[in-house]
Amino acid sequence: MTATDFARQLHAFLTNYLPMQRNVSANTIKSYRDTFTLLLRYCRDGRQLTIERFTLVQFDETLITDFLAYLENERQCRITTRNQRLAALHAFARYLQVEAPARIAQWQRLLSIPFKRHERHLPTYLTPDEMQCVLAQPKMTTRQGRRDLVLLSLMYDTGARVQEIADLQVRDVRLESPAQVRITGKGRKTRVVPLMPNTVALLTGYVQEHGFDARTQGEAPFFLNTRRQPYTRSGIAVLVQKYVTSARQQMPSLPARVTPHAFRHSKAMHMLQAGIPLIIIRDFLGHVDIKTSEIYARVDLEMKRQALEKLHQPVTPQGLPAWEDDAALMDWLRSL
């Protein structure tokens, strides 16, 4: 069977354009792939369309609008998930504007489908005391405990995303002065992050204990789980929650659920509260736009507002006087 124009374009989009030209990460490609998997299943089950015969003509604004409604109403997806799926479809439509320009008006109608506004929740982060309590939980007397402490400390000290820690290789860590770690983030972009002395001491002991040699083991994973396999995002999430649950017995103020990303948020907040400019925090975290980093400034302002509400004695009046009851003022107004 001859492949349809939709099949050819989607194959080229996922296997050539995204990884080769856009240089996006494997996780982004998987997310886009999952979006089109859901779309094609919807076309088959909800529209009774034959996938083998699905063409670009059918990939239109009406179909996508109905698909988004299906995600929200039948699959009960959140607005953020709905917007994420739409972002993948928008990316494909922008690609088609160049690769299939004969239908450019159709692709531009797809691009006009708006994202839905949603309430943006402030990021969860830990105070320095709470973070210190969590990092005190791994048992230094065991090999596994020492590995866990190094992993959690490095994740906080570098503000790395969980996937960046999972992808870390032996060659990425430099302990000689100036100590630093090379992190590969979104879009396969790399950044170099300096390491603090305490973290360098932990890493030095970890490297010596495991006998790492960057010359012979450069591409080896820096962290392995108990099965001697590279850590996954879910594996690190379980590890974080394990120690947070343990720490809550000593410090009940800790949130009941803490994700690995909260370590990144915590590092950013602690840097901001230490007076470090946002532009440096942006580069440290690997944000493309400083607007992404500004959320931490908003959180800091909210904290200050709440503190002022607790301490501040009101001085300003509760409201304006009832000027309508001033007969002289009313007579003067009528005379104008």
For residue 120, give the 3-state DSSP assignment.
coil
Distance between CA atoms of residues 196 and 179, nearest Å: 8
Active centre residues (catalytic):
161, 186, 261, 264, 287, 296
Distance between CA atoms of residues 99 and 75, nearest Å: 32
Distance between CA atoms of residues 265 and 214, nearest Å: 30
246-195-300 Cα angle (round to 5): 65
Beta-carbon count within 10 A of 284 CB:
18
**What backbone phi and psi angles, to 5 degrees, belong to 193?**
-115, 130
Beta-carbon count within 10 A of 47 CB:
14
